[in-house]
Amino acid sequence: MTDLSKPKPNNKSELLNGFNYEMYNLDLMRKVFPRILSDLEAQFPRQQRKKQFRDLIPLYFYLLSYVDGKHTREDGTASRRFGAAFPSREKIHADLRIDHRRIKLLADILEKNGLLLETRDEWERMRRMKWYFVSFCPHISDDGYVIDANGERIIPDYSSLDLDG
């Protein structure tokens, strides 16, 4: 538990007293993303044109910032969207400048590493939407792997990735 009365650096106290903020596991940036990028670079060495995977990081945090935290709808029923982020590919592209064709690949890599729990196609009024269920990654191993609910490291298998899609 965090001691809220303890002095905080810079303007962190003000942020914690306000609204519209989230916390994340610091080991994501310290251990998980460096391990993922190293793994991908080793598995997919430079060819004529090197694949870029660094957009995984802003995509993860972007999706995390759009997670629907409303458990109950206005009519009192449970929301099916609770815990999902659902920005469109067009919005992701416009905001992050990630090419439309790369978003699925990056989401697949995040999912294989346990950073996305699930990616689901949903339909709303004749419009297909992607729902991304983002993991807050509460448990991370010392060597940079997300730990699942069974206490096991999630070891990604990249063999089914469509690098050209």
pTM of the model: 0.84
Query: For residue 163, is pLDDT > 90?
Result: no
Q: pLDDT higher for 72 or 154?
A: 154
Start-to-end C-alpha separation, the chain: 43
DSSP letters, 69-127, are ---B-TTSSBPTTTTEE---HHHHHHHH---HHHHHHHHHHHHHTTSEEEEEEEEETTE
pLDDT digit string (tens) for 82-133? 888 999 999 999 999 999 889 999 999 999 999 999 998 888 787 888 989 9
Domain count, the chain: 1
pLDDT digit string (tens) for 59-72? 999 999 988 877 77
Lowest-confidence pick of 5-9, 55-59, 145-149 = 5-9
What pLDDT does 129 receive? 82
Q: Which range marks the domain in which residue 159 is found?
A: 52-165
Domain containing 132 — which CATH number?
1.10.10
Domain presence at residue 40:
no
Domain presence at residue 156:
yes
Domain presence at residue 111:
yes
Domain presence at residue 90:
yes
**Closest CA relative to residue 163, chosen from 3, 1, 12, 51:** 51
What pLDDT does 15 receive? 66
**Closest CA relative to residue 98, chosen from 65, 54, 130, 163:** 54
